[in-house]
Amino acid sequence: MTTPRPRMTPDRLRSRDWFDNPGHPGTTALCIERYMNQGITLEELTSGRPIIGICQSGSDLTPCNRHHVELVQRVKDGIRAAGGVPFEFPLHPIHENVRRPTAALDRNLAYLGLVEVLHGYPLDGVVLTTGCDKTTPASLMAAATVNIPAIVLSGGPMLNGWRGAERVGSGTIVWEMRKRLAAGEIDYPEFLSRIADSAPSVGHCNTMGTASTMNSLAEALGMSLPGSAMIPGPYKERGAVAYATGERVVDMVWEDLRPSDILTREAFENAVVTCSALGGSSNAPVHINAIARHAGVAFDNDDWQRLGHEIPLLTNVMPAGAYLGEEFHRAGGVPAVMHELLEAGRLHGDVVTANGATLADNLSGRMTRDEAVICRYANPLVEHAGFLNLKGNLFDSALMKTSVIAREFRERFLEDAEDPNAFEGRVVVFDGAEDYHARIDDPELAIDERTILVMRGAGPVGHPGGAEVVNMQPPAALLRQGIESLPCLGDGRQSGTSGSPSILNASPEAATGGPLALLQSGDHLRVDLGRCEVRLQVDDAELAVRRERLEAAGGYAYPADQTPWQQIQRSLVEPLADGMTLRDATTYRDVARR
């Protein structure tokens, strides 16, 4: 049962302060004349209709979201049909593949920009158009801060990619083909053509990478209409759900249903559990922790392990599985996964969601329609598919995505050791992606099939925004011997489309003085997944000497700031484990100006 909400009345709408404010006739007239010059009528602005913002994340620079430019016409139709007035405005572009030095640098920038728009313009509610990786968390973080009625509209994934009868998944194909290119099995034109196969239509990545994960989790949080997250971009249902989203946001305004009603601790717990069952991206903890902090919910990587680790993988979608977005949608999408989790007693069913109903009501009857793609809880693809939160003497927190640990990797590192959950190895350390590319094939490094590759200088300060570079492929010589992966560890992130079993997001990072800065090639590490621990096998006296030497040299060196925003972000950004939010930004809440 949902609790009846206080009804908003036309005279209490926030936009009235701009458009119907007799105490300030001059400023009111200026607001009105400059929108009437668009052909908007006086009646639309002053008769007590909700003014609804549509945050447009699509542009020629953000192709993953580009079709929102057309899709929002259906959103506007829905808003008008429900009696609202739509105002479209842009989100700072964020394109995962193209933005340099990294798209993650722009998540907080887009967040800041959207907060200012929602704070300072006459909007009673907002539709957040989302898609490419960081567009979703940036939008949700801002909605949490400002707290006006808000609903997410995903653009949906691309159609499946194909090469002959084989599915080709966005991003995942890149990781596979890079190995074949390095091993000399294919040439560059073939490499390019195979990667282009993965992108046959408009939409975001068709794998369960960060984009599909974050849009699915926006739905799991209750911030979008049920079943909407993973409708493929070109499907007719995508237009229909855009219309329904526009209609619904107007009612959310009248119901005064705000992000703070939806983004509760229970909702974040539901998102963590759902993420494990989806085989979701290792970027999800960073973004979900950030959204939670902006919503005033204390949430960290211990919560991810406690709630998420033992949840089984139910979703057979790349990179953890075999299928892509179209099959996932046809099998029932996010509601079918959550239906299994709710029946297994893993979700809070009584939370309210964007459509005004409870999660349990929304999931009623939404069973999987294809058990090969979305499994029953009793018959999962992998047991214990969530993240482990590793600790030790190198970092306070680092994540490992266990759903993608391949059998071959398990056999080589885990199952033949004395302790079936632990392994030890000699490390080879790289300082940033350039260093890795320059040296990975150097025979002097003596990398063999038991070496642990370490990447540092790749956190939010070392590489502004945090680089997706921890999943490092082995040297070509090992690839040619059939060694497809080595254990990797680092203070950066990795792409959600990668199936690499890396230890990533290590916090604190080397650039802020984390012990990773003391590591040297040739050191030995012991990784114990049973105890969730990584220990550097170097004694404290030696580490103290290294620390002194590092400090005498002025600390861990990283490239200089190239833009004003890089400098600002570096001076304020918090560790990946804390969501990479900006210091103090999370203390602002309910900032809708009146």
- Residue ranges in contact with Mg ion by CB under 5 A: 96, 468, 495
Cα–Cα distance for residue pair 297/561, rounded to 1 Å: 32
21 contacts which partner out of Mg ion, ligand FES, none, CB within 5 to 8 A by kind?
Answer: none
Q: For the CB of residue 157, give the shortest distance to ligand FES in the complex, in Å.
A: 8
Minimum separation from the CB atom of position 132 to ligand FES (A): 3
CA 173 to centroid of chain Cα atoms? 20
Nearest to 154 by CA among 259, 268, 84, 67: 67
106 binds ligand FES (CB under 6 A): no
Helix spans in 57-121 (H): 68-81, 105-120
Q: Which of 497, 407, 483, 405 is nearest to 451 (CA)?
A: 483
CB of 103 to ligand FES, least distance (A): 8
Query: Least CB distance from residue 94 to ligand FES, whole Å?
Result: 9
Tell the smallest beta-carbon distance from residue 211 to ligand FES (Å): 3
CB atoms within 10 A of CB 583: 11
CB of 558 to Mg ion, least distance (A): 21
Q: How far is the CB of 170 from ligand FES (least distance, A)?
A: 6
Rounded Cα–Cα distance for residues 246 and 304 (Å): 33
- Which residue, 209 or 279, has its beta carbon nearer to ligand FES? 209
- Residue 370, C-beta contacts closer than 8 angstroms, at least 6 positions apart: 327, 330, 331, 332
Partner from ligand FES, Mg ion, none binding residue 495, C-beta < 5-8 Å depending on class: Mg ion
Supply the DSSP string of 265-321, one letter for each residue.
HHHHHHHHHHHHHHT--TTHHHHHHHHHHHTT----HHHHHHHHTTSPB-B-BTTTS
Does residue 132 belong to the site contacting ligand FES (CB under 6 A)? yes
CB 381 within 8 A of CB 321: yes
Region binding ligand FES by CB under 6 A among candidate stretches 66-74, 182-190, 201-209, 466-474: 201-209
Q: Which stretch binds ligand FES (CB under 6 A): 202-210, 388-396, 421-429, 463-471?
A: 202-210
- Report the residue number, 207 or 264, with the smaller CB distance to Mg ion: 207
Question: Judged by CB, which is closer to Mg ion: 85, or 205?
Answer: 205
Chain mean position to CA 504:
15
Nearer to ligand FES, 133 or 578 (CB): 133
91 binds ligand FES (CB under 6 A): no
Select the binding partner of residue 205 from ligand FES, Mg ion, none (C-beta < 5 to 8 A, by kind).
ligand FES
Report if residue 96 touches ligand FES, rule: CB under 6 A: yes
Contacting range for ligand FES; rule: CB under 6 A; set: 48-56, 190-198, 203-211, 303-311: 203-211
Closest CB 469 distance from Mg ion, rounded Å? 10
- What is the per-residue burial (b if ≥16 Cβ within 10 Å, else e) of 51-71? bbbbbbbbbeebbbbbbbbeb
Nearer Cβ to Mg ion (96/106): 96
First-last CA distance in the chain = 32
Interaction mask 38-77, ligand FES, x per CB under 6 A: --------------------------x-------------
- Find the shortest distance in angstroms from Cβ 401 to Mg ion: 14
Phi, psi (rounded to 5 degrees) for 94:
-135, 110
The three-point CA angle 68-315-66 to 5° equals 10
Contact 489, 453 (CB under 8 A): yes
Residue whose CB is less far from ligand FES, 206 or 353? 206
Q: Which does 102 bind (CB under 5 to 8 A by kind): ligand FES, Mg ion, none?
A: none
Is the CB of 277 or the CB of 469 nearer to Mg ion?
469
- Contact flag: residue 97 with ligand FES (CB under 6 A): yes
Query: Looking at the DSSP assignment, which residues form a beta bridge with residue 87?
Result: 53
237 torsion bin: left (phi>0), alpha (psi -120 to 50), beta (else) = alpha
Q: Which is nearer to ligand FES, 109 or 148 (CB)?
A: 109
Distance between CA atoms of residues 228 and 451, nearest Å: 44
Q: Judged by CB under 6 A, which of 93, 209, 380, 462 binds ligand FES?
A: 209
133 binds ligand FES (CB under 6 A): yes
**Burial label, 84 (beta-carbon count in 10 A; 0-12, 13-18, 19+):** buried
Tell me which residues in 154-173 interact with ligand FES (CB under 6 A): 170
Residue 138 sits in the site that holds ligand FES (CB under 6 A)? no
- Rounded CA-CA distance 302/577 in Å is 10
Of 205, 229, 388, 454, the residue at the interface with ligand FES (CB under 6 A) is: 205
Select from Mg ion, ligand FES, none the partner in contact with residue 75, using the beta carbon and a kind-dependent cut-off of 5 to 8 Å: none
State the residues that interact with ligand FES by CB under 6 A: 64, 96-97, 132-133, 170, 204-205, 209, 211
